[in-house]
Structure 1
Amino acid sequence: MGRPRTPLLDRERITTTALELVDEQGEFSVPQIARRLGVQTGSVYHHVDGRDGIVELLRERVARSIDITTLDARPWDAALAGWARAYRAAFAAHPKAIPLLMTNPVRAPRVLQQYERAVTLLQSAGFPTAEVMPVLVALENVVLGSALDLAAPEAMWEIADASATPRLAEALDAAGPHRADLAFDLALEAFLAHARRRLEECREE
């Protein structure tokens, strides 16, 4: 028999399978990937640098959906806002991957380059180098928290008796179906307003 036209195993298929598992259960194991692909566990290790290598492949796959051209916009706060929205959309598509990716060091070269661009944006805007990472990490906290919120049930507060918590019931009704988006907009604008003030303070120091 001739060799199959499509390789049975490669990094793309391993990544796709790992992401499917993470989307389903929030985790993955190399034996699970092997079983789903119908290969031996050792065969997976021939293509990736262990479990940590697969985590970085997952990071690259999710980050691939982030439109990094948003970082080319000007002024700097418009660029940061556009990147935040693209970042949120990418992770909202795979919310169960967030705990896994955020508890492992970032090593993927393509992802590091994206951070390099964000750092350059902030430095060019006038932020002191010591202020740059706190700004980026704070933005990530807003973005990833909101991405998780998008995956939460629409009704996070189940009120059996509205008469017991009438103000809460009223507030929930008033928020409507776009609570998560409204909350993200509020948090993002509050973050940017603080960042603008901090930049002005740095310029005056």
Structure 2
Amino acid sequence: MGRPRTPLLDRARITTTALELVDEQGEFSVPQIARRLGTQTGSVYHHVDGRDGIVELMRERICEAIESATLDMEPWDAALAAWARSYRAAFAAHPRVIPLLTTSPVRAPKVLEQYERAVGVLLDAGFDVADVMPVLTGLENLVLGSALDLAAPETMWELTEETSTPRLARALKAVGAGRAEAAFEVALEGLIGHCRTLLGRRGHAR
């Protein structure tokens, strides 16, 4: 028999399978990946650097969906907002992977390159270097939290007759199905507004 035209096992297929498992059950294991791909666990390890390596491959796959060109926009606040929206959309497609990624250090080269560009946007805008990582970390917390919110049930408040909550009922009815989007935009504008304040203080200090 000739060699198969498509490799039976490679990093791309391992990454896809790991993401499928996490999307389904919130977790994965190397033996599960091997079983789903019809191969031996040891064969998977020939292609990846253990479980941590697979986590980084998933991070890299998701971050490929973030439109890095948004970081070329001007001014800086438009770039940051557009990047945040794209970042959120990428992770909203795989919300159950977020806990795995937030408990593992970022090592994937392509992901680090994107952070390097984001840092450059802020430094070029005139931010103090000491403010850069708090701003980016705060933005990331907002984005990932909102991505999880998008995956939550639409009705997060179950109103009952036992507890009188007429004002809560009115507020929920008023926002309707757009609650998660509205909440994200409010928080994003608040963060960017604070960033403008930071930048203004630095300008006055000069």
Q: When the two structures are superposed, what TM-score results if normalisation uses the length of structure 2?
A: 0.97
SS of structure 2 residue aligned to 1:96: helix
Task: Work out the CA distance in 2 between the residues paired with 1:133 and 1:163.
Answer: 43
Shift of 1:105: 0.1
TM superposition shift of 1:160 = 2.3
Counterpart position of 2:102:
102
Distance 1:161 1:194 in 2: 41
Aligned partners of 2:4, 2:131: CA distance in 1, in Å? 54
Which SS does the other structure have where 1:199 is aligned?
A: helix
Matched, 1:13 2:10: no
**What SS class does the counterpart of residue 164 from structure 2 fall into?**
coil
Query: What is the rounded CA distance, in whole Å, between the counterparts of 1:80 and 1:20 in structure 2?
Result: 30
- Contact persistence 1:162–1:169 (CA under 8 A): no
Any conservation in 2 of the 1:71–1:83 contact (CA below 8 Å)?
yes
Deviation (angstroms), 1:103: 0.8
Gaps (5+ residues) in structure 2? none
Q: CA deviation digits over 1:141-161, x for unaligned, max 9?
A: 111111000000000011122
Pairing 1:43-82 to 2, within 5 Å after superposition: 43-82=43-82
Distance 1:65 1:17 in 2: 17
Q: Percent identity at matched positions?
A: 71
Q: What amino acid is the match of 1:134?
A: P
Moved over 3 A (4+): none
Query: Cα distance, 1:162 vs. partner?
Result: 8.0
The two structures have a TM-score, normalised by structure 1, of 0.98
Distance 1:163 1:103 in 2: 38
Please list, as runs of the form range in 1=range in 2, the aligned pairs for 1:64-143 lying within 5 A after superposition: 64-143=64-143
**Which residue of 1 is the match for residue 29 of structure 2?**
29
Matched residue SS, 2:191: helix
* Cα offsets for 1:6-38 (capped at 9, x unmatched): 111000000000000011111110000001001
Distance between the aligned counterparts of 2:44 and 2:171, measured in 1? 51
Q: CA deviation at 1:163?
A: 6.7
Cα distance, 1:181–1:135 mapped onto 2, change above 3 Å: same
Distance 2:166 2:115 in 1: 45
Following superposition, the deviation at residue 71 of structure 1 comes to 0.3
Counterpart CA distance in 1 for 2:94 and 2:173 is: 28
Contact 1:142 1:187 in 2 (8 A): yes
Q: Which residue of 2 aligns with 1:196?
A: 196
Cα deviations by residue, 1:66-103 (Å, 9 ceiling, x for unpaired): 00000000000000000000000000000001111111
The root-mean-square deviation of aligned C-alpha atoms, in Å, is 1.0
